[in-house]
């Protein structure tokens, strides 16, 4: 099987890269995480995004409904 990840061809990949470009500045300490990004997980109908600030350790979470 030749299933590859990271090609940007799935909706989740597009959503992940969307969040990679925005809001990487920590609201707690102001650190801008250029190296990091939002990590996405999905359970089928909801995507959970998580970002951990490497400077102060603050964790931010966002959820997004894929379908209603």
Judged by the rule CB under 5 A, the positions of this chain that interact with Zn ion are 26, 28-29, 31, 53, 55-56, 58
Q: In terms of CB distance, is 47 or 53 closer to Zn ion?
A: 53
Q: In terms of CB distance, is 15 or 60 closer to Zn ion?
A: 60
Tell the smallest beta-carbon distance from residue 57 to Zn ion (Å).
7
Tell the smallest beta-carbon distance from residue 54 to Zn ion (Å).
8
User: Backbone phi, then psi, for 19, in 5-degree steps?
Assistant: -70, -20
Burial 19-55 (b: 16+ CB within 10 A, else e): beeeebebeeeebebeeeebebeeeeeebebebbbee
Q: In terms of CB distance, is 13 or 33 closer to Zn ion?
A: 33
């Amino acid at each position: 099987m030749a299933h590859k990840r990271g090609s940007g061809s799935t909706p989740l990949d597009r959503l992940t890269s969307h969040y990679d470009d925005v809001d990487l500045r920590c609201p707690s300490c102001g650190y801008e995480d250029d190296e990091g990004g939002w990590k996405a997980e999905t359970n089928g109908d909801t995507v959970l995004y998580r970002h951990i600030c490497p400077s102060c350790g603050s964790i931010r979470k966002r959820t997004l409904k894929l379908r209603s």
